[in-house]
Amino acid sequence: MFRRTTLAVCLALAAATPAFAQKTAPGGQAPAPGGAPAIRLENSTSNIVNNVYASLTSQNSWGNDRLGANEVIQAGGNREFQLPPGDCMYDIRVVYQGGVAEERRRVNACTEGNVVLPMAAQRLSR
């Protein structure tokens, strides 16, 4: 009896393991390797980036500057940003020195983690 119960439990666990391994993030996107999405910004402009914002597409606010107060992305430079685990879809906003801003909406950080500036999506003035 004990053997049958043990065997049944082992078989049930083995059958359930693939279901847990196939978990997807909200929106049907598979999470990035390691569980947390990331974006890498490449600044191919001649301008310095002073601020970077990345928020979930479902949110209505940009949140905090991901560069912080004492960091910039120099012209020709790049920087990687780890994002919270969960959803993959992010909106990105960068603000260049002088106040000109650029936004790109619905970036899938799980599949297209490399973002080259200028983003050629929507360029905004101050």
pLDDT at 3: 53
Domain count, the chain: 1
**Cβ-based burial of 18 (10 A; exposed 0-12, middle 13-18, buried ≥19):** exposed
| Amino acid at residue number 26 | P
| pLDDT string in tens for the chain (126-residue length) | 555 554 454 445 454 444 434 334 444 445 545 568 999 999 999 999 999 999 999 999 999 999 988 999 999 999 999 998 878 999 999 999 999 999 999 999 999 889 999 986 444 444
Q: Record the tokens describing residue 35, joined without a space.
A: 């569980």
Can you tell me the distance from the alpha carbon of 41 to that of 114, in angstroms, rounded to the nearest whole number? Answer: 6
CATH number of the domain encompassing residue 99: 2.60.40
Distance CA 81, CA 85 (A): 12
> Is residue 79 within a helix (H) or strand (E), and if so which, with residue range?
strand 78-82
SS3 per residue for 80-104: EEECCCCCCEEEEEEEECCCCEEEE
Domain that holds residue 117: 2-124
